[in-house]
Amino acid sequence: MFAKLAFTAILGLASVPAFAACDVTIEGNDSMQFNTKSIVVDKTCKEFTINLKHTGKLPKAAMGHNVVISKKSDESAVATDGMKAGLDNNYVKAGDERVIAHTDVVGGGESTSVTFDVSKLAAGEDYAFFCSFPGHWSIMTGKIELGS
Ligand SMILES: [Cu+2]
């Protein structure tokens, strides 16, 4: 019993997940890039957390980044509507039901995160994660899918 607890404590300290990782950290920089193009969400996760870290120095008004998740087929329209919504709304249209999850917009040196129910993702559907800051989504985009 003691050995098992100690072992668990060591694993915890080392941040080694005992099961599937139900989170991912994405970095965005001052060159308008994410450091990943693909995220697979393990289907055993109930919730999944996206951590966004802006590793640059520019303020969010100039080089802000967020992470928005939608179906790939909705990406363009969600980004266009988000652009009109403005920075005060994190470049996401209020109440946009096509948006599965989104973070706030952050500037250089800042971090944020969002957690969503994995049940919102369907197997076999193409989803995109992207930054909806004006002009960013065509480059800052990647694929997110439910793992099999
Ligand atoms: Cu961006």
pLDDT per position as a tens digit, 79-133: 999 999 999 999 999 999 999 999 999 999 999 999 999 999 999 999 999 999 9
CA–CA separation, 141 and 131 (whole Å): 7
The conformation of residue 108, written as its DSSP 8-state character, comes to: T
Query: Phi and psi for 38 in degrees, rounded to 5?
Result: -150, 135
* pTM of structure: 0.87
Which residues have CB less than 5 Å away from ligand 1 (the ion)? 65, 131, 133, 136, 140
* Band of residue 148 on the pLDDT scale cut at 50, 70, 90: confident
Q: What is the pLDDT of residue 42?
A: 96
pLDDT per position as a tens digit, 36-94: 999 999 999 999 999 999 999 999 999 999 999 999 999 999 999 999 999 999 999 99
Instruction: Compute the distance from residue 32 Cα to the ligand 1 centre, in Å.
Output: 6
CA–CA separation, 73 and 127 (whole Å): 8
CA–CA separation, 55 and 64 (whole Å): 11
Instruction: Compute the distance from residue 121 Cα to the ligand 1 centre, in Å.
Output: 23
